[in-house]
Chain A
Amino acid sequence: MAILEIKHVSKFFGGLAANSNVSFEMAQGMIMGLIGPNGAGKTTLFNCITGYYPPSQGDVIFDGHRMNGLHPDAVCKLGMARTWQKVRPLAKMSVVDNVMVGALCRTNSLKVAREMAIERIKIVGLENRAKVLAGSLPIGERKKLEVARVLATQPKLLLLDEVMGGLNPTESEEIIQLILDIKEIGITQMVIEHDMKAIMRISDRIVVLSSGEKLAEGNPQEIVSNKAVVDAYLGGD
């Protein structure tokens, strides 16, 4: 059974269609790549899925729940968590406190939350930075903190918005490994990424958006050989 179904989702801002009639499904445990040129509507689709905007038309069905109109906090409690393209560390709180805020979504006990947080911090490899203020981390570690924090909310589905953006090749490689590790744990992921090599490596399936519409969907091999996709990216006629 599909964990996430996007059914004919459209989002209009005034007369502008940021998403129009996008539909696809995600199976449990897979990694779905979401790609497209700048302004294709990838982040808008994320926002529609996670409750930041209600979709103008269509339905988002997650784990049997219809998500339209749910607020982000309710979405998180149902088991869907997201990271942000522009990282949002809780700057004046330590790394472990940041992750604890995520963990407190599932428990009221600080002690349990701290244990859960330390576990997630180990997964992303920030254990020796646990007591540092989040605001003083360099960008690579902020991205990892972001992932640890959403992992602590115990999601079934994780939406990663450009977690590799602005990273050097070594750091990107670490994040790729991290995404594959998370897949091993059994968490389904949807990944927005501009780095084509990375996205081809990690994705089981890829959806291509262009000007708000779904241009193509398939496994990585199908996508690289799809003429419409190549045209959209390289500007064919």
Chain B
Amino acid sequence: MRSFMHNMRGASVFPILLTVAGATALFLLPNFVESTYALHIMILIFISVIMGTGWNILGGYTGQYSVGHAAYFGIGAYTTLILMQYHQVAPWYGVWAGVVVAVAIALVVGSICFRLRGPYFVLASIAVAEIFRVTALNLRLTNGAEGILITDIPPFKIGNAVVTDFMSKVPFYYIGLVILIFAIIVTWMVQNSKLGYYFQAIREDQDAAHSLGINLTTYKNAALAISVVFTSMAGSLYGLYVGFIDPSTVLALDLSVHIVMICIIGGIGTIWGPAIGAVILVPFSEALRSNMIAQALIDSGIISENSRIGAFLKDQLSHAHVLIYGILLVIVILYMPDGILGFARKLLAKRRKEAA
């Protein structure tokens, strides 16, 4: 038992060091990176990691596959932006207002939908998100299909000193990074607490969990609330960063699927799964969307621009990102059902076994 504890400690020091080193590197990065496009991609990755990490608490640890998390992303974004644009509430209060509204709505939705299990819960979560999308599309408060365009973000002051005026991408980078680290720490705390054990017990077998003294409704709602905090914050950050939201971007089914994909590809129910998933998926889909892949193939001389294939790719590849998303998902589910992280762990364990 003693050597077991020792091993556990020995194994846990290294990842912590690695995490701290990684976080430090990310904090210093904007000092060295001039390219605003690189920062843009990093901010998009951060937002995806935050929402993926949020979903992971509910979907990954508790096993409740919500395919409607765009609802809470959108509610966070709308609350923050409406308060800022029409009621002059500064976004650093607005973000928390978004969290409160999103969690309150989530708990109402949860206490209804958590009676359902498995695929029925998934369907209900999609339906709920669609209700919010259609509502936002028709409400005057949310400005319908026109969405909300923000004019400018008031500068962030402490006392009279201006901390940042939000003129560049750098403040968004740091805000994203801080929320991301917060989300990862919360996940770690959940995993190493009674909550984490109860969440996983519910995922593995609800009836067994129930008979072991776990109040299913309470703990599912707890998982949902934690999950929605981060999803909503990601939404607010996205809205402030992009400066424009409408129902078809922040409340779309596409977005709900994207959140789930990040986790499935990275590895469900693990601390780093969503981060890995986002690091792979976001640049990939950006590259497809901005036609970078086709252009790179042409530039490198692999395919001639004048050939039929070259012209086809240049015209069509950027429209195919959803298709490629789908193919990627099929491959991951078939060959790496535990995601990239699970797959890597299995390989490591196998190698260790062979070495022993």
Contact = CB atoms under 8 A, between A and B. Distances in A.
A81 B212 CA distance: 7
B204 interface: yes
Given A73-B216, A104-B194, A110-B192, A90 B200 contact: yes
Contacts of B198: 101, 104
A82 interface: yes
Contact of A149 (B212, B215, B216): B212
A227 interface: no
B193 interface: yes
A43 to B, nearest CB: 13
A150 B203 CA distance: 18
Interface stretch (A19-27, A60-68, A92-100): A92-100
A132 interface: no
A88 B207 contact: yes
Interface residues of B, number: 22
A105 B213 contact: yes
A72 B210 CA distance: 6
A2 interface: no
A93 B196 CA distance: 11
B211 interface: yes
Interface in B171-211: 192-194, 197-198, 200-201, 203-205, 207-211
Contacts, number: 76
Contacts of A113: 194, 197
Interface string A77-111: 10001101000111111000100111011001010
B41 interface: no
Nearest to A87: B208
A104 B198 CA distance: 9
Interface of B is mostly: helix
A91 B205 CA distance: 9
Contacts of A150: 211-212
Contacts of B101: none
Contact of B197 (A73, A89, A110, A131): A110
A73 B205 contact: no
A153 interface: yes
B311 interface: no
A108 B207 CA distance: 21
Interface in B103-134: none
A84 B197 CA distance: 20
B214 interface: yes
A71 interface: yes
Contact of B211 (A82, A93, A131): A82
A96 to B, nearest CB: 10
B197 A50 contact: no
Given A90-B205, A93-B204, A76 B212 contact: yes
A89 B208 CA distance: 8
Contacts of A81: 211-212
Nearest to A101: B201
Contacts of B203: 92
B204 A90 contact: yes
Contact of B213 (A73, A91, A108): A73
Contacts of B197: 97, 100-101, 104, 110, 113
A65 B169 CA distance: 62
B216 A90 contact: no
Contacts of B208: 84, 88-90
A188 to B, nearest CB: 17
Contact of B205 (A71, A88, A100, A102): A88
| Residue among A71, A73, A93, A102 with max Cβ neighbours from chain B (10 Å) | A73
B28 to A, nearest CB: 35
Nearest to A131: B4
A76 B211 contact: yes
Nearest to B4: A131
Contacts of B204: 89-93
12 contacts: A73-B210, A81-B212, A93-B200, A93-B201, A102-B212, A104-B198, A105-B214, A108-B194, A110-B193, A110-B194, A149-B212, A153-B212
Given A84-B211, A104-B197, 16 more contacts: A73-B216, A76-B212, A88-B205, A88-B207, A88-B208, A90-B208, A91-B204, A92-B200, A93-B200, A101-B212, A101-B214, A104-B194, A105-B214, A131-B4, A149-B212, A153-B212
Q: Which 5 A-B pairs have the closest CB atoms?
A: A105-B213, A90-B204, A76-B213, A88-B208, A101-B201
Interface of A: 50, 52, 71-74, 76-77, 81-82, 84, 88-93, 97, 100-102, 104-105, 108, 110, 113, 118, 131, 149-150, 153
